[in-house]
């Protein structure tokens, strides 16, 4: 199987990022503004339903400590497509001890070749884009080597106090990460060929759990809307 080379093309702060939404020349093929009485299960697979609620036109993804560990809510689209633009308006968690992510990925996570593209928030306004690329030779992760606190979008409250618009553009030439219509990360030569779904999760890793403090709960993740363009 052909081996693809992935290159970090650029990493820029929002202040210098180019404002250029890719959607004006695209067609909206999937959307949900969550204004119904309940989550549309024809559109979404819901993980840990007791941690997922609708309130004031938003999906609230909770996170709690339970008897046998920790539990957080998630939603994953039943709609999938190859290439296009996937976006969502999200307010991420504020504290360490839990984390959240917005990502696109194949339904079959073992598909080769495939890619998982992600925005991940570890709390304390620490947000970073990343990719996990699975090829015949194995899996590799790509993310900025160093994230500096002076980056505009890492200033206190940018990530956790208000919703921002996060997007992934997938074309034959590149994967591109957008934040509020500005490019912040890009990789060339994408190898993924199968369709991807869109997921938003609230969870924790083993490393997070040492920082968990029940006094910081609730520390929910809010999803205002989701759109997918072709």
Cβ atoms of 99 and 205 closer than 8 Å: yes
Q: What's the pLDDT score for residue 189?
A: 77
Q: What's the pLDDT score for residue 5?
A: 40
Q: How many Å apart are CA 160 and CA 206, to the nearest integer?
A: 22
Q: What's the pLDDT score for residue 139?
A: 84
Whether 210 is covered by a domain: the verdict is: yes
CA angle 74, 152, 115 (to 5 degrees): 40
Whether 95 is covered by a domain: the verdict is: yes
Q: What's the pLDDT score for residue 4?
A: 38
Domain span at 211: 8-229
Q: How many Å apart are CA 118 and CA 143, to the nearest integer?
A: 10
Cβ atoms of 198 and 32 closer than 8 Å: no
Whether 3 is covered by a domain: the verdict is: no
Whether 65 is covered by a domain: the verdict is: yes
Q: What's the pLDDT score for residue 63?
A: 96
Whether 123 is covered by a domain: the verdict is: yes
CATH code for position 202: 2.60.120.200
- Measured in degrees and rounded to the nearest 5, phi and psi for residue 151 equal -55, 135
Question: Which residues, other chains included, contact 124 with Cβ-Cβ below 8 Å and sequence gap of 6+?
Answer: 94, 95, 96
> How many domains would you assign to the chain?
1
Counting as low any pLDDT under 50, the low residues of the chain are 1-16
Q: What's the pLDDT score for residue 18?
A: 57
């Amino acid at each position: 199987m052909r081996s693809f080379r992935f290159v970090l093309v650029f990493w820029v702060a929002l202040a210098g990022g180019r404002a250029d939404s890719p959607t004006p020349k695209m067609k909206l093929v999937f959307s949900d503004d969550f204004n119904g009485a309940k989550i549309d299960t024809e559109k979404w697979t819901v993980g840990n339903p007791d941690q997922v609620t609708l309130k004031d036109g938003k999906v609230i993804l909770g996170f709690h400590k339970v008897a046998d560990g920790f539990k957080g809510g998630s939603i994953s689209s039943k709609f999938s497509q190859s290439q296009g633009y996937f976006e969502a308006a999200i307010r991420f968690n504020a504290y360490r001890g839990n984390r959240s992510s917005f990502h696109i990925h194949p339904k079959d996570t073992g598909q080769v070749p495939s890619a998982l593209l992600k925005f991940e928030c570890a709390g304390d306004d620490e947000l970073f884009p990343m990719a996990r690329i699975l090829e015949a030779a194995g899996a590799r992760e790509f993310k900025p080597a160093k994230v500096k606190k002076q980056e505009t979008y890492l200033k206190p409250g940018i990530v956790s106090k208000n919703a921002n618009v996060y997007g992934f553009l997938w074309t034959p030439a590149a994967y591109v990460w957008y934040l509020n219509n500005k490019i912040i990360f890009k990789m060339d030569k994408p190898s993924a060929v199968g369709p991807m779904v869109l997921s938003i999760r609230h969870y924790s890793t083993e490393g997070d759990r040492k920082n968990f403090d029940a006094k910081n709960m609730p520390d929910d993740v809010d999803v205002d809307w989701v759109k997918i363009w072709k």
